[in-house]
Structure 1
Amino acid sequence: MTSSDMPSLLELGMAIRSGELSPTEHVDDVLQRLAADTHNAVISVDAEGARAQARALADELARGQWRGPLHGVAVGVKDLIDVAGLPTRAGSLVLADAPPAAADAAVVARLRAAGAIPIAKLHTHEFAYGPTGDIAATGPARNPHDPTLITGGSSSGPAAAIAAGLVPLALGTDTGVSVRGPAALCGVVGLKPHRGHLSTEGVFPLSETCDHVGLLTADVHGASVAWDVLERAEGTGGGIQLPGVSGVRIGVPVDDYWRAADPAIAPVVAAAVERLRAAGAEITEVRTPMIDELAATYATIVGAEAITTHEAWIAERPQDYQEATRTRMASFASLPATAYVAAQRTRVRLVAAMRAALGDVDALVLPTTRLRATPIGQEEVEIGGVAVAVRPSLLALTLPFNLAGWAAVSVPGAVPAGDLPVGVQVVGVRLEERGVLRVAGALARESAAYGLKP
């Protein structure tokens, strides 16, 4: 266990705007936290740049200038996303000699313009090609709830940094699970927006047709504030919807595909559904008979797009890849183009069929992952005498919504203090980001309730 006493984004914003806390004091505090990281979440820190930006933002406040709720707030960035002045190494020796980025990625530039302070690059599963967070040139990231367990991936560092109270806001990427899975396993909030709603410019690609930029925070309100700022050039938190689900049509998928493997997960999700019912949501069971065929397209699409990026490097310098990454990518080197095109056509057809099958449902509520955090490096776990493969179990319940491009958020479910976190996923069928965050807000609990004791 560790301490997570980082103030929320709401508290930080209010304290900085009122003058109770200066941006420079906040940055100094975050730098101390980052220096004390014991979870292998931190890759590099821009202390000089962060302090300079904090001083400039403090001067603006002294002149009565306020850029919004992220003014002076430190932000961590997954080491797949460019931050000017820091190298992007993507968790790999392939990019060990990468020069500092010349410019911010589009999402980082938007946060910086809103007054946020990009302060550190955070751990990623190598090239984002994995859901565990324990394969990288710098070694595995470690779960703040138990350092022998995985954080989930590939946004491993962002999730660990939020859960451990190192930063109040972090940017990640999500190609199949990579924001929501780590959020679920670390007990924080992870938002994957609708595809295309945040630019991927300046983000190292894994799968151009499945990649999404997302964000992680300690609570749903913080995610709503950050989303409002990222989504609108004039966003100042005023676009947040009040939590409330009266009349919202919630679908609960009941096909075998959607079942969790860990028996601790289903009761937590069922309790979340009942909380929504009690709050006025209309709950209905739904079936998705096409889901197995749709999900089967994912590996082909992502693998084909990944090997297209990496083929020359794998041929020229295979030793610079972690073995698991190299092996998985290389397996797609001989994939015929017809297989890739067929997978994309099947994807389009079955996403439409899934939407039609869900009828007038506004959102789905289901587990984020089939498993809770598992031991680092362990490829299988035994549950009820049955061996369960970790990697596909972490991907299965989230990847359909990357194929569909729908907005989705993972929020911590209610578990006893000291138990491992369980993620509850809210997926927008008819709802976009503000809508899924509004539903998630009805389930919101602070991450401190999930075993991160002072």
Structure 2
Amino acid sequence: MSDALDRPAPHTLHDLSDDLAANRYSAVDVVDHFLRRIDDTADSIRAFVEVFHDSARRQAKESDERRLAGRPRSEIDGIPFAVKDIIGIAGQRMYAGSGAVDIVPTSDAPVIAQLRAAGGIILGTTRMHELAYGPSGLNDFDGGAYNPCYPEIIPGGSSSGSAAAVAGGLSPIAFGSDTGGSIRAPASLCQIVGFKPSYGLLSTEGVHPTAPTLDHVGFLAASVDDVRIAMRVFGDVPIIDGPGRGRRLAVFDEPDLTVDPAIATALRRALDTLSNCGWRIEAVTAPSGFDVMDVSSTIMAYEAYRVNRERLETVPERLGADVRERLQDGSRVTSGQYERALHEVDRVRTEVGVLAEGYDALVNPTIPITGPTREDAVREDVRRMLMRNTRLQNLLGAPAISLPGAEDGPAPWGIQLFSVRGRDTELLATAAAVAAGLATPRPTQCMT
């Protein structure tokens, strides 16, 4: 096996795909490498719930046979994926991070069926915040995953294990779900890329619901290019070169939002760097009279309670304290409050669409505070801030991506780019150009 493959650093899907096509090593070599990494970090990173050693090796062998015969199924044939333990895999137990869930799906979720049809390989299922209903990634039942880049802080949630798997070099790419930032927050805290596509672009069928109006499936990966490849395969999203609206970015300013000074300084430096590379940076102000947290919490709580009502009423002791409390809060949201919140979203969707016109992307920090410790993350004010910048995009069904922040900022931090629903192709092209302009290297902590 290649010495380059056997290094512990994260590998990109893009490079692995090229190397498999060039026969530098086999899919079996690749899978064996990642399985060893998973086993070696089972106690230190704890990214996975279950690891599919035998089936992953079998899928890798089948991929090698197809490639030898000159019939690879796609550009991800032979590429390993990690799967958040909320996405249905036929015959495999799903716990959704909860003591109140024990489901064995009889069929694959459509995104898993797509993965198999494209020749991708399932390494296993990853840990998560219980019921995908929390931003920290902490879990009362299994302890959750650990941040491989910054062990002293939380990995973020709810797609904590998927982020840890990619950042720790245990998988080149992972599926996550995102209801209010559950892909982007852990991507920021683990210093990788996290992408939530437009609502409905990737099917959520077969995915255990959190709040169906807001739920999205997306990816966590080591690079924007990896996300673009995955979205081409799973969402039929073409890869195009360069932003198409004149290299214009709009800083999305919310006057009432307090941003940690270190984060504000880091964002300003990053934008100055882009400005020096020819980007035009302007500012737009968020729609007034719209409380993102209040509206999104109303919708999320109303729907999550109805999804989990039977569990709350029959086995409340099997729910973690934080999730149980949030579900109880949801029981008190009225249908009138819910309908008014949905109406407010319709208004703001139109206003944000006007703001975004003419820009390649809207920009803000993925998380407006520095990464909290596991102790601090249980505080309500900290939990709210973890979600504060990532809730709007779910309300709008808009594509959004978190990129790792520059090394001269607080460790860690992330830059979020978002647009309006349906502009996934353009947003990913913009994200690739921004990432190239910032040229942010990965922290060394993630490579050991």
Q: Name the TM tier (shorter chain).
A: over 0.9
Letter in 1 for 2:31: V
Partner secondary structure for residue 173 of structure 1: strand
Q: Deviation per CA, 1:97-116, whole angstroms, max 9, x where unpaired?
A: 433x2222111211221111
Identify if the C-alpha distance between structure 1 residues 453 and 171 changes in structure 2 by more than 3 Å, giving closer, same or farther: closer
2:75 corresponds in structure 1 to 69
CA contact under 8 A between 2:301 and 2:333: conserved in structure 1? no
3-state DSSP class of the match of 1:443?
Answer: helix
Q: Shift of the alpha carbon at 1:52?
A: 1.1
Tell me the CA shift for residue 431 of structure 1. Answer: 6.9
**1:258, CA displacement in angstroms?**
4.9
What is the deviation of 1:147? Answer: 2.2
Alignment-derived partner of residue 366 in structure 1: 364
Aligned residue among 98, 107, 119 for 2:103: 98
1:210 maps to which of 214, 218, 227: 214
The answer on 1:329 being equivalent to 2:320 is no
> For 2:225 and 2:390, how far apart are their aligned partners in 1?
22
Distance 1:180 1:117, change over 3 A: same
Residue-by-residue CA offset, 1:177-202 (whole Å, 9 max, x unaligned)? 10000000000000000111110011
1:168 paired with 2:166, answer no
Residues 69 and 23 of structure 1: CA distance in aligned 2, closer, same or farther (over 3 Å): same
For residue 330 of structure 2, give the secondary structure of its aligned residue in structure 1. coil
* 8 A Cα contact 1:199 1:213, kept in partner: yes
What is the deviation of 1:430? 7.5
After alignment, is 441-450 or 85-94 more displaced?
441-450
CA distance in 1, matches of 2:207, 2:228: 22
How far residue 241 of structure 1 moved from its aligned partner, in angstroms, is 2.2
Aligned partners of 1:12 and 1:221: how far apart in 2? 12
Conservation of the 8 A alpha-carbon contact between 1:294 and 1:351? no
The residue number in structure 2 matching 1:390 is 382
User: 1:414 deviation in Å?
Assistant: 0.8
User: Which position in structure 2 is the counterpart of 1:53?
Assistant: 59
Aligned equivalents of 1:335, 1:430: Cα separation in 2: 28
**Alignment counterpart, residue 348 of structure 1, candidates 341, 346, 352:** 346
- Alignment partner of 1:342: what SS? helix
Q: Does 1:452 align with 2:446?
A: yes
TM-score (norm 2): 0.92
- C-alpha distance in 2, partners of 1:146/1:449? 9
The corresponding residue for 2:427 is 436
Task: Kindly state the Cα deviation for residue 136 of structure 1 after the two structures are TM-superposed.
Answer: 4.4
Question: What's the Cα RMSD here?
Answer: 2.1
Question: Which one-letter code corresponds to 2:103 in the other structure?
Answer: A
CA gap of 1:430–1:53, structure 2 versus 1, over 3 A, is closer
CA contact (8 A) 2:404 2:414 kept: yes
Which stretch shows the higher mean deviation, 77-86 or 406-415?
A: 77-86
Alpha carbons of structure 1 residues 244 and 361: separation in structure 2 relative to 1, 3 Å: closer
Partner SS for 1:43 = strand
For 2:157 and 2:165, how far apart are their aligned partners in 1? 13
Scaled by the length of structure 1, what TM-score is found?
Answer: 0.91
- Equivalent residue for 1:84? 90
Alignment partners' CA distance in 2, 1:240 and 1:199? 20
Percent identity for Structure 1 against Structure 2? 33
Q: CA deviation at 1:330?
A: 0.9
Q: CA deviation at 1:171?
A: 0.3
Show structure 2 runs of 5+ residues with no match: 1-6
Measure the CA separation in 2 of the matches of 1:4 and 1:400.
36
How far 1:245 sits from its partner (Å)? 6.7
Partner of 1:199: 203
Are the structure 2 counterparts of residues 240 and 359 from structure 1 closer, same or farther at C-alpha, using a change threshold of 3 Å?
closer
What are the superposed Cα offsets for residues 154-208 of structure 1, whole Å, 9 maximum, x if unpaired?
0000111111000001000000110000000000000000111110011000011
* Superposed CA offset, 1:215-273 (max 9, x none): 010111111111111112xx7xxx32234577133111233245523x22122222332
Structure 1 stretches (4+) deviating beyond 4 angstroms?
A: 243-246
Contact 2:400 2:418 in 1 (8 A): yes
2:357 and 2:26 mapped to 1: Cα distance? Answer: 50
Aligned residues: 437
Moved more, 162-171 or 243-252: 243-252
Aligned residue identity for 2:198: H
Change (3 A) 1:124 1:141: same
- Distance (whole Å) between structure 2 residues aligned to residue 258 and residue 361 of structure 1: 22
- Distance change in 2, residues 1:399/1:76 (3 Å): same
* Change in CA separation of 1:208 and 1:119 when aligned onto 2, cut-off 3 Å: same
Matched with 1:402 is: 394
Q: Which residue number in structure 1 is paired with residue 4 of structure 2?
A: none
Secondary structure in 2 matching 1:118: strand
Query: 2: CA distance between counterparts of 1:136 and 1:218?
Result: 28
Which amino acid counterpart does residue 57 of structure 2 have in structure 1?
R
Structure 1: segments with no counterpart, 5+ residues: 382-387
Check the 8 A contact 2:135/2:386 in 1, yes or no: yes
What is the letter of the counterpart of residue 349 of structure 1? R
Distance in 2 between the 1:225 and 1:136 partners? 35
Deviation at 1:46, TM superposition (A): 1.2
Equivalent residue for 1:8? 12
For residues 97-246 of structure 1, the aligned pairs below 5 Å read: 97-99=102-104, 101-232=105-236, 239-243=238-242
